[in-house]
Chains A and B, each alone.
Chain A
Amino acid sequence: MTMAEAIERFVPDGSTVAMGVALEPLIPFAAGHELIRRRRRDLELVGPISDALFDQLVGAGCVRRVTAAWVGNVSEGLGHCYRRACEQAVPRSIEVHDHSNFSISLALWAAAWNVPSLPARTLLGSDILRTNPNLQAGEGLVHVSAVRPDVAIVHVQRADEHGRAHAWGPLGITEEAGLASERVIISCEQVVDASVTLSDPNRILFPETKVVAVVHEPGGAHPSPVQGFFKRDHPFHRDYAERSRSVEGFDAWLQEWVLGVSDRGDYMRRVDVEAIRIKQARLSVPADFGDD
C-alpha cells in the first residue's frame, strides 16, 4: 500500500494519532507530510517528544489538540509553529494536554490494558497537574488517565507484508502506543519475506492483528535517524528551525518540502542522501530458535 492510500483509508479528519513514539529516532515524517498534503484537520497528536514533526503538523493547521510531553526541535530548541498556535492562535488555536515522558507512557499502557487509569509516583508537586484534566493527584500518587489513539503510525527498519515489524535500537514508548491504538500503520525501510521476520519473533513489535497497513517508504523517517540506515540530518533540522521562525518562512519551507512534493520518493531525491547514509554494518549475532 502507498502512504497516500494508508492515510486516506485509515486516518480520517478528527483522528487521534500517535506518532514519534520512539522519541528522537524512527519518526514517521513521511506519514506526517502525507497528512499535511491530504489536508487532514482536527487531529489530536499523541507522543512523547516528536522532534519537529508535531511542530510541522501544527503549523500546517492539521491539529486540534496536542497530548505530549514536549514539542520543539531537539537540537535547535523551541518549536516556532507550536509557539504561534499556543500564543497567537496562528494558524488556529490548539488545546494542549501536557504530560511528562513517564506519564504519557503510562497513559498509553492504561489504554493498552483497558483500565481507566494507572497510578504513578511522578508529577507530584508539578503544575502539569493543574493544566491537564487527565492527571489527578491523590494519596501520594498521580492517577494517569488512559489515552487511546485511533491509530499509531510507526516507522521501522523492516517489516513483512503481513504487518510483522522488526525495529531495533531504543523503542521509547512504541510498544504501548501500538497496543493502546485501535490500529497501527507501519512504514519501513525494507519489506522482507515473512521468513525473515518470523526467524526472530522476539523482535516483532506488534501483534499482526493490530496492523492495518504496511507502507514501503525508504527514508520515511528523514530527518530523524534510523539505526543501521540513516544518521540524523542535523543541518536539515537547523534549516527548518531558522525558516519556521516566521509564518512566511514556514509556508515557503512547507511548499518546498511537503506541498510541492508528490511523495517520499520525490522528496528523497532532493535530500543529500549520501551525507546521512550509514555505510558501516555492525551486525548482531543471530539467536538460535532451535526446538528439536
Chain B
Amino acid sequence: MTEYSAQELMVAIASREIRDGDLVFVGMRLPILAYAVARNSHAPAARGLFEVGLMRDQPASRFLGTMGDPPNVAGALWATRMSNAMALMAQGNVDLGFIGGAEVDRFGNLNTSYVGDPGRPRVKLPGSGGGADIAILSRRWVTLMGHERRRLVERVAFVTSPGYGDGTPRWRQRHGLLGGGPVAIITTLAVLRFPDGGGEAYLASLHPGHAVDEVLENTGWDLQVADDVSETTPPTEAELAAIRRFDPDGFWTRAS
C-alpha cells in the first residue's frame, strides 16, 4: 500500500462526491485537485464552473495556484464574466459546490468572516468570496477542513455560508434558500454526513488508523455516531497517481 497524506485522502474522498455529468462549482485548493481526479476516473462527463468566469471539461494540464491561472483558461469551454457563472447557479444548474471554511458547526453552517465580535474581531478571516453564494444556491455542497475542536464548533459565531441554520426542520426552505445544503464535511480524521433533508451532522466514516474517541475528542459538540460507521476507503493507486500528477510538488497535499 502506497503511503498517502491526510490531504491526499481528503482529495480522494471529495472526488468521489462528484457524480458523472455533474456541473461542479469548483473552489480553490483541494477541490481543484478533486475535480481533476474525478474527471480522470469515475466522472468523465463532469464539467467544472469557476467563479472567476470559466467553464472547463478537462482539468488544467499544469499546476494551479489559483483558478485564474493561465493553464485553467487555456482550453476552457467558456471564458466569461462572473455574473454569468452565478446565473447558472441561481437557476439551480450547479449540482455540487465545494467551500472552504475556518469553522463549521453541527448544522453545517460555515464561518469565514469573524472570530469574536465583528465590531472588533479577535480574528478577521478573509470573508465569503463565493462561499455564501455556493452554500445558498448550489444543489448540494461539501466542505473540507482540518479536524480540530476549535474548527468543528457547537455553533459558529458568524454564519458566512449557511448550512441548516438552527437545525429546525425546513430551515432553508423557510428562509428562501434555493439550494439543498451541505451533504458532507470531509476532515483530516473522518467524514461527517447529514440526514436526508438536512439537520445535524453525524460521524459516517472514520479514516484508516483513527478511532471514534479521537474524533469525538476533537469535535466541539456531542457528535452523533452512525450505527454502521465505516472505515473510509483509502485513496486508490489511480487516485493517488492523478493527485500527484496535478500537484507534483505537493503544494496543496503535503502541507500539514
Q: Which residues of A does B touch, CB under 8 Å?
A: 22-25, 48-49, 51, 68-72, 74-75, 77-79, 82-83, 86-87, 96, 98-103, 105-106, 109, 120-128, 130-131, 140-141, 168-176, 224-225, 227-228, 231-232, 234, 237, 278, 282
Contact with A along B110-129 (1 / 0, CB 8 A): 00011000101111111111
Q: Which residue of B lies closest to A83 (CB)?
A: B124
On whether the beta carbons of B175 and A86 are closer than 8 Å, the reply is: no
- Contact pick for B132, options A72, A79, A128, A234, CB 8 Å: A128
Interface residues on B, range: 35 or more
Least Cβ distance of A132 to chain B in Å?
10
On whether the beta carbons of A125 and B172 are closer than 8 Å, the reply is: yes
On whether the beta carbons of B70 and A278 are closer than 8 Å, the reply is: yes
A269 to B52, CA, bound (A): 30
A174 to B81, CA, bound (A): 8
Starting from the known contacts A101-B86, A224-B68, 20 additional A-B residue pairs (CB-CB under 8 Å) come to: A23-B51, A23-B52, A25-B68, A69-B128, A70-B129, A71-B126, A86-B124, A99-B127, A99-B128, A101-B130, A102-B133, A105-B83, A121-B178, A124-B176, A128-B128, A170-B76, A170-B81, A170-B82, A175-B81, A234-B251
Chain A binder among B4-12, B156-164, B182-190 = B156-164
On whether the beta carbons of B159 and A68 are closer than 8 Å, the reply is: no
On whether the beta carbons of A123 and B123 are closer than 8 Å, the reply is: no
| B194 interfacial by beta-carbon distance below 8 Å | no
* Given A122-B136, A124-B177, A172-B52; A100-B128 close (CB under 8 Å): yes
A-B contact pairs, 9 of them (CB 8 A): A23-B82, A25-B52, A48-B129, A87-B121, A120-B90, A141-B176, A170-B53, A172-B81, A173-B82
Q: Which 10 A-B pairs have the closest CB atoms?
A: A24-B68, A170-B53, A72-B126, A86-B124, A140-B176, A125-B162, A70-B129, A24-B66, A101-B130, A25-B68
Which A residues touch B122, using CB under 8 A? 87
Q: Which residue of A lies closest to B53 (CB)?
A: A170
- Contact pick for B127, options A69, A224, A237, CB 8 Å: A69
Q: Which residue of B lies closest to A94 (CB)?
A: B124
- Contact pick for B65, options A48, A70, A232, CB 8 Å: A232
A139 to B158, CA, bound (A): 23
Least Cβ distance of B254 to chain A in Å?
14
Least Cβ distance of A116 to chain B in Å?
19
The residues in B between 49 and 100 inclusive whose CB is less than 8 angstroms from any CB of A are 50-54, 65-70, 73-74, 76, 79-83, 86, 90
| B31 interfacial by beta-carbon distance below 8 Å | no
**Counting chain B CB atoms within 10 Å of each CB, which of A24, A131, A278 scores highest?**
A24
Contact with A along B126-148 (1 / 0, CB 8 A): 11111111011100000000000
| B235 interfacial by beta-carbon distance below 8 Å | no
Which B residues touch A83, using CB under 8 A? 123-124
A121 to B132, CA, bound (A): 11
A149 to B54, CA, bound (A): 26
- Contact pick for A173, options B66, B81, B120, CB 8 Å: B81
* Given A69-B129, A101-B51; A121-B83 close (CB under 8 Å): no
